[in-house]
Structure 1
Amino acid sequence: MPETPAISVILPVYNSAAYLAATMESILSQTFGNFELIVINDGSTDNSASIIRSFTDSRIRYLEQPNSGLVATLNRGIAEARGQYLARMDGDDICLPQRFAKQAAWLDAHPQTAVVGCFVTFINEKGEETGAWPEDRANYTAAQIRQALPYLNCMAHPGIMARTAAMRQYGYNPAQRHIEDYDLWLRMQANGEVMEKVPEALLLYRVHGTSITSHHLKKKNVFYKHFRCKWRFLKKRLSNGKFNSFDRAVLGGMLKDLATAMAKSLKPAK
């Protein structure tokens, strides 16, 4: 492994045994090879550890810890990162072969960009493609993403690559759970950080019965979660004496979330 990798890949693992081998193989098979893969086992109780240890690639840095939650795990990964760029992955998704090459090239060519995402294609438990995410495909330029984020999260978290320095500056907020990425995007956008996407599908995003997307968000009233996220964000901004046009748009999005959440709560269950 080179002395200083260009990219640090953060892969948090918690009971991901069913899909973990395929995920790691997709990372280690990237056409861009100058990276370190930081695998952090967050107290898994399945056989994730044995799967991780079955890989002998010298680019892997394997860390174990008692179960601490995703935010703490991600922040540890940021602290451990040695690369100029930092890529995210989840233990059940699949990287398409040129993802790292294309995102690193984008950041090289656009020094003003802090975060670059990509389009994602949904897959199921069997790895079968099940469709695309309309909001993802509709918002890929910096201007589109900035306009959309006060109202919806249009960035697929496991598909991003960012400048490590920017991730260290902002970090993940321990007060946020399950939508820690949305809070991070709002804080970055409020300060004018540029976020955009390589407008190509470079990640297969797995949705299954135990995934966060399926279990924690879709089965609950996600609009209350978004309302509380934006409330915390705006409260912190105001306490620091800050309130700009982006914050104003977030306020509008927050009120819309509250109205939608209340309407969904009042709607009779079928």
Structure 2
Amino acid sequence: MSDLPRITVVTPSFNQAAFLERTIRSVLDQGYPNLEYIIVDGGSTDGSVDIIRRYADRLAWWVSEPDQGQSHAINKGLQRATGEWVGWQNSDDVYFPGVFAQLAEAARCWPRAELIIGDMQLIDEHDRLIREMRYVRPTYESLLAEGMVLANQAAFWQRALHGRIGWLDESLHYGFDYEWFLCVLRETDQVVHVPRCLAALRYHDASKTSLSQRLFDAEFRSILAGKMLPGWKKTLYRARRMFLTLGNGHFGYVLRGIMRRSGLVR
């Protein structure tokens, strides 16, 4: 176990009892021997706390109490983390089997890495695939140009980064993940992309993702104030992503993306 890096996962939770156990099991059933798992519940009233209690002996720490929102809950967990690598997984999303072993292997192969990301799937409330999300190695400017072209569901970073750039912005409730990764990529270029689906984001009627586009757009504009790139640069980064995705062998994915943008498929 001493050869494997310690990994800390934080799950912020609030009234997601329908999906929470699947999230918890996706973390604990990895069988990774050097795992620290923290759940920060915001005072759920839907049975979530009963689910958490069933796994309490396998958790490093958990709490259920009112908080100031998702970013605050994540920070509470991250500030207790002791892992070399950290990340958070939302209470309705899941990791795929073997993700922590793949992270450990990537960290071994790229010892200077400070951020490691993978690809992701979108799934529905019944775990059915909606579509895959293929990414490439992000940069600070690629996030400015294209938006959220990586996913926290499939991202891990060195805990030491928090000592250099602080914590998630708790004044943000929808765009805090985007703002956080902009801070990370402004700080470091030691980034590795693992071209495999490591996790899934669940899209359902009650998810923040499906409910919050207008509010996210407002925070997005606030985050980007004074940082916007010219149009030609955005086009350049879109072309970069397409060619790197082709280089990873995802020809069908690129073709479907072109067809969606052309209105030929949904």
TM-score normalised to structure 2 length: 0.78
User: Share of identical aligned residues, percent?
Assistant: 25
Cα drift, residue 33 of structure 1: 2.6
Over 3 Å counting, the alpha-carbon distance change for 1:207 and 1:168 in structure 2 is farther
Over 3 Å counting, the alpha-carbon distance change for 1:221 and 1:252 in structure 2 is farther
**Which runs of no fewer than 5 residues in structure 1 stay unpaired?**
235-246, 257-270
Over 3 Å counting, the alpha-carbon distance change for 1:50 and 1:173 in structure 2 is same
What CA distance in whole angstroms lies between the structure 1 residues aligned with 2:204 and 2:126?
A: 9
Q: Does 1:157 align with 2:144?
A: no
**Which residue is 1:214 aligned to?**
210
Cα drift, residue 8 of structure 1: 1.0
What CA distance in whole angstroms lies between the structure 2 residues aligned with 1:74 and 1:16?
A: 16
**Which residue is 2:247 aligned to?**
none
**Which runs of no fewer than 5 residues in structure 2 stay unpaired?**
235-266
**Which residue is 1:195 aligned to?**
191
Contact 1:176–1:229 (Cα < 8 Å) also in 2: no
What CA distance in whole angstroms lies between the structure 1 residues aligned with 2:113 and 2:208?
A: 28
TM-score normalised to structure 1 length: 0.77
Amino acid in structure 2 at the alignment position of 1:226: F
What CA distance in whole angstroms lies between the structure 1 residues aligned with 2:5 and 2:110?
A: 20
Deviations 1:76-130 (A, max 9, x none): 1111001111122111112111111111221233233221111111110111111
Cα drift, residue 5 of structure 1: 7.5
Correspondence list, 1:52-201, <5 A: 52-133=52-133, 137=134, 139-142=135-138, 145-151=139-145, 152-170=147-165, 171-201=167-197
What CA distance in whole angstroms lies between the structure 2 residues aligned with 1:196 and 1:224?
A: 30
Let me know the Cα RMSD of the aligned residues. 2.4
What CA distance in whole angstroms lies between the structure 1 residues aligned with 2:229 and 2:220?
A: 11
Cα drift, residue 146 of structure 1: 4.0
Contact 1:7–1:35 (Cα < 8 Å) also in 2: yes
Contact 2:74–2:88 (Cα < 8 Å) also in 1: no
What CA distance in whole angstroms lies between the structure 2 residues aligned with 1:192 and 1:87?
A: 17
Deviations 1:205-262 (A, max 9, x none): 1011111111112xx275443221112xx5xxxxxxxxxxxx5xx4447xx9xxxxxx
Aligned length: 229
Contact 2:123–2:201 (Cα < 8 Å) also in 1: yes
What CA distance in whole angstroms lies between the structure 2 residues aligned with 1:73 and 1:225?
A: 19
Contact 1:15–1:46 (Cα < 8 Å) also in 2: yes
Contact 2:174–2:215 (Cα < 8 Å) also in 1: no
Over 3 Å counting, the alpha-carbon distance change for 1:87 and 1:27 in structure 2 is same
Q: Does 1:205 align with 2:217?
A: no
Contact 1:31–1:97 (Cα < 8 Å) also in 2: no
What CA distance in whole angstroms lies between the structure 1 residues aligned with 2:130 and 2:36?
A: 31
